[in-house]
Structure formats: C-alpha cells, structure tokens
Structure 1
Amino acid sequence: MDRDQKVALICGASGQDGSYLAKFLLGKGYVVWASSRDAQGASFSNWARLGIQPGQIKTLSMVPEDFRSVFMALRKSDPDEVYYLAGQSSVGLSFEQPAETIQSITLGTLNMLEACRMAERPVRLYQAGSSECFGDTLGEAANEATALKPSSPYAVAKASAYWLVENYRTAYNLYACTGILFNHESPLRPTRFVTQKIISTARRIASGSMEKLKLGRLDISRDWGWAPEYVEAMWLMLQQDVPEDYVIATGTTVTLQDFVAEVFLCLDLDWKDHVVVDAEFLRPTDLLVSRADPSKAERQLGWKARYKVADVVKRMLG
C-alpha cells in the first residue's frame, strides 16, 4: 500500500454519516476501509446513492463488542485515522433496546480505544458523540464545558463513550476526540428518524394520500443541520495538532412544529390539516429544548454550518 496516501477506517460506514464521510475522504485521496458486522452480506446501498463505485472502498467484517474482532480489523486496515460511528443510533429505539444500545456504543468504543492504544503505529481516533448527552440544559446553549446529564439509554451510552475517550486521551496520550454533534439530517436518514418520517409522509400526502402524519410532542426544539457538512468537521478534528472535543451544530434552534410547517409549506400545504398528535409516539423522557454554542469549532477548526433548517428541508425534499 502506498503510505503517501492516508488510510482511514470508518466503523458504521453504511449509515448516513459513514456514507457521506466515505465520499468525503475518497475526495481527499484517502484509502478508505469500511467495517460492517457482515461485510460480505451488507448491501451498502447508501454508497450507490452517493455515486460511490464498487471497489472504491475496501470492506471488512467487525463486531464492535468483540475485542479480538476489533483488534484484527484495525491490524488488517492499518489506518492513520479511525472514525468510530458504529452502534445503535436511535434515541427512541434505545428505550426498547437499552442493552444492545449501550453495548454497541460503549463497549464498542472501549474496544476500539484499546485496539488503537495497542497499535504498532500512532492512530488518530474520532468518536461520534451526541448532543443528547447534555440532557436538559434549561434552554441554555451547550458548549464543550457544559455538564453531561443524559436522559435516555442512548444518551447514557454516548456519555460513557465520551468519558472513555477523555480517559484514554489523558491516561495514554492517545490522539482521540469526540465530536458532540447536534441533530443533522439528509435524504439518507432512515424513516424511523422523525425528520425523514415527516418528509416521507408529507410527500405522500402531497401526492394524494389521505393519511395523517402522527407525531409526539410538537413543542420540542432542536438544532437541525445538514449532514454532509458535519462529516467535514469530523475530519478537521483529526487534522489538529492537539486532540480536543468539539460541539458541532448550526447554532440555530427551532421547534419540531416549525420543521413540520416548513416541510408542508414547501409542498404548498397547511400542516394543521394533516398532522395529529398521537400519545403512542411520546417517549418516557424527551428533551424539551436542545440548544448549541458551536463557536469553538468556528474559532479553532474554521468550521461553520452554511445550511440552516429551511435549507435542510429543501434538500431533503430534493
């Protein structure tokens, strides 16, 4: 292998962020490896949607909860950079599958950190954090110094991974960092995510469907960004001289009702005629307001979100 080319291993490369990151790194001239629990049986359908051709990415099988599997994947790919995006990624689903969520995220992160520590060559590790770790900040904008108060199994798992990264960085001088990403969307989002559910249902209604869009609370507020922008921030974190954690967000927060209204407005519809609140979609706990201060990323990485909610909606609608 030509070591003039940087080598990256993306864990969780078939999902939204992993797919956009793979395309981004290929554009940077990287040799890209992608892990999946069953690489031979995985479809990697998102890659085709992004125009990634068969053979552009090297694939390997890796089970995050199995240290030997992680260690062997790292040895085979021999990367300069690892992007750990693997694990169960739905907050709602984490209430139904708490053990799988915590194991895949927390134990998987621990195994990768330990494998990187034992690697023969220095490896830089990015771990996908989440704004959910902050919990309810009472409307205050969260930054890198904000205390973590996770309020879902998913958030607990991500908070644990965050502290593991901090521990390995401090104890072993490992180049490891966490990107604390606020909500970021794209057409690659599965329909179990509320934004894609809204887009898909609204499209069907605009095409003549008589169905109703059923949602939980409409008063929750989130910072929604455009996913393809966020993968550049991941990459930038691993290009710095010193590893640090960063909040990645647009800095603009709107309610779910505002997001819904924007979608239906783009389709020349009044959302009030097509949306109903259904208790079935209420979670045991849910953050009311999620607000971000991404100024450190702009100051130190030179990264700033270009697209806000209205732009995200238009791009998701295509």
Structure 2
Amino acid sequence: MTKTALITGITGQDGYYLSRSLLEKGYRVVGLLLPQRQTNLAKLGSLADRVEIYAVDLTDCGALEDAVAQLQPQEIYNLAAPSFVPDSWNDPLGTLDLVTGTATRLLAAVRKAGLATRFYQASSSEMFGDVDRSPQDEQTPFRPMNPYAAAKLHAHWTMVHHRQHYGLFACSGILYNHESPRRPPQFVTRKVCLAAAAIKLGLSDTIEMGNLDAKRDWGYAGDYVEAMWRMLQVDVPEEYVIGTGELHSVRELVATAFECVGLDWNRYVAVQPKLFRQDEHFQLVANPAKAKNNLKWEPEVSFEALIEKMVLKDLERLKNGKISPATFSK
C-alpha cells in the first residue's frame, strides 16, 4: 500500500528536501498550502508536478479536519513556521498562531478522525535559548529567548500532551541550524556563499558581516529530513536532538566559502558592529547520541562539503542569470 504523507510548510527548504526524499521512498506526498500562496509552488521546481496540493487555511479547524479525514494520511510532518527567526519580533502573535495553532489544530484533526496517523512536529534548538551547558540533549532545560522559540516550545509541549493524554503517535525533532542551496539570502550561510560567488565573478566587491566569532552547529537539510522520517518509523514516539555536534564560527564559514572560489576572504569582508546580534553569548551545539543510537542516524554531509555545495550552486545561478547580485552586501 502506498503511504500518504501530509506536509505543512512544503514550499520551504525542509519541505522541499522532505518531499524529494519521501517521493524517492514511494510515498504519495500532499502539501497543505494556503490558497493565496499557490504561487510559492515554483519554489519546489520539478517536484511541483510530483506532489499533490490541498488548498486549505491552516487557521481553519473545520477545514483541517476535513483535509485529514479525506486524505487519511499515514504520516503528517508539521513544518509550518516563519522562515527567519528575527522576523518573529515583528509579529509575535502571528508567529504563535502559525506555529502552535497549526500544530494544535492538526493534532485535534487526527484525534477527531480516529486515525493512527504518525505526527512529526518540527521543534527547534532555539527552544534551548540561553543555555548554561553545552552540548545540549533531550534533557536540557528550555529557556527560549525570542517569540519564535517560545511559539515552538508551546507547540512542542502541545504535541507531548496529545501523546500523553490521547495516546497519539506524536514526536518531535529538535533541529539545529540546517542549511542548503535553497536557504534564503537573509540567512548568514547563504549570504556568505552568495557573496563569495558574486565576488569571484566580479559582480560584487565586498560583504558586510557581524560577529565573526559567533559559532553555530550547522548541518545539511537533506540529512536532517531523513532523521524526521526515521522518527516516524520506530515503535515508540520520542523527542530527538538533531545536529552535527560540531561548532563552527562565522569566520570559518567565510574562510571556507571564499576558499571554494580561490579568494582570500580578508580582502573582501567588512565587519560592521551594527550587525552584531545580542544573543551571541550562548552556544547551541547538539548532542545527537540518542538519534544515533535509536534511529541509526548521523549526518553524512560535512560542514566543508555543505558550504562548497552552496557556493557552487550560487556560481551556477549567477552565471545563468537566475539571481541578481544587487543586494548581496546588505
């Protein structure tokens, strides 16, 4: 029997890689998408013709109940969330409704339909926030520091409560930073890779950066969606920390990206204190031992290979005129 997987946030980075992976595994993939966002399907590229789209307002309880009852999915992956964390300060209530509201309504829809659907909630390392220990694992206390993280934590506990109180198969992946050539340019990894490619081609001559000593646990999105899928294939639903367990500084990121195009980054990077973030004092780095032991999962793409993959893709895009270099340094 062909399994059906529902995905919210299907047009985002993770939605793309998860859809591709599930299609390769023989799934029927259905994306739940707001009617007014149908144009976003272009982000899926060639996958757009291979997935089904169910137009639905994620804030409409009745519509979501109808969707789940009609489609009867074996698996649901709730990835819906704002793509850029700092934006959550501009609309904390909207962030809460999109993240927590969607999770709550979907879980209620599964329960009402009486299905044995397995539910994945996309949690985030941002929930750990102002940590007092590193690395972090599933037992590390949560101390969120922004509206996005708080909303993710609310959704996380909502999922746990539905599992405990109603017996649903519901779990979450607490994912650390995961990148790919599909990252939007406002993310520092893509900003740097794009700039390195543009400077190499003579389309730009500098890039403004913030704190080069800030460190992150960066992995490849294509690896992390495999962990999501594996969480729904085991017998017992649990939470899993998903990351590489390695910290790399923004300085390493810049040096690696520019090395990919044979340039000395020191000649092109201008550090701007105005770009420093207030929350750089904490270090989020994963201890993914549980995922390695229980799911037999570990990242396959190294930090260096990830950055090279991103830089080469942006070189290709720029050469083909698919993107413009106008705002790279901003």
Range of TM-score over shorter length: over 0.9
Deviation at 1:262, TM superposition (A): 0.7
Deviation at 1:219, TM superposition (A): 1.7
CA gap of 1:9–1:202, structure 2 versus 1, over 3 A, is: same
Identical counterparts, % of pairs = 38
Q: Distance in 1 between matches of 2:80 and 2:265?
A: 35
Say whether 1:52 aligns with 2:62. no
Alignment-derived partner of residue 220 in structure 2? 226
Q: Distance in 1 between matches of 2:269 and 2:276?
A: 15
Say whether 1:90 aligns with 2:106. no
- Which amino acid is 2:198 matched to? R
Alignment-derived partner of residue 252 in structure 1? 246
Q: SS at the partner of 2:76? A: strand
Say whether 1:170 aligns with 2:167. no
- Which amino acid is 2:112 matched to? M
Structure 1: runs of 5+ lacking an equivalent: none
Alignment-derived partner of residue 199 in structure 2? 205
Alignment of 1:159-308 (within 5 A): 159-286=153-280, 288-308=282-302
- Which amino acid is 1:52 matched to? L
Deviation at 1:139, TM superposition (A): 5.1
What is the TM-score when the length of structure 1 is the normalising length?
Answer: 0.93
CA gap of 1:240–1:289, structure 2 versus 1, over 3 A, is: same
What is the TM-score when the length of structure 2 is the normalising length?
Answer: 0.90
Deviation at 1:286, TM superposition (A): 4.2
Deviation at 1:250, TM superposition (A): 1.1
Contact 2:173 2:228 in 1 (8 A): yes
Contact 1:224 1:253 in 2 (8 A): yes
- Which amino acid is 2:121 matched to? Q
CA gap of 1:274–1:288, structure 2 versus 1, over 3 A, is: farther
Alignment-derived partner of residue 18 in structure 2? 21
Say whether 1:32 aligns with 2:32. no
Contact 2:131 2:282 in 1 (8 A): no
> Aligned to 1:123, which of 117, 124, 147?
117
CA gap of 1:292–1:113, structure 2 versus 1, over 3 A, is: same
Q: SS at the partner of 2:38? A: coil
Structure 2: runs of 5+ lacking an equivalent: 313-330
Alignment-derived partner of residue 310 in structure 1? 304
Deviation at 1:166, TM superposition (A): 1.0
The alignment covers a number of residue pairs equal to 312
Contact 1:92 1:283 in 2 (8 A): no
Q: Distance in 1 between matches of 2:72 and 2:83?
A: 26
Alignment-derived partner of residue 65 in structure 1? 59
Q: Distance in 2 between matches of 1:40 and 1:150?
A: 30
Contact 2:96 2:147 in 1 (8 A): yes
Say whether 1:8 aligns with 2:2. no
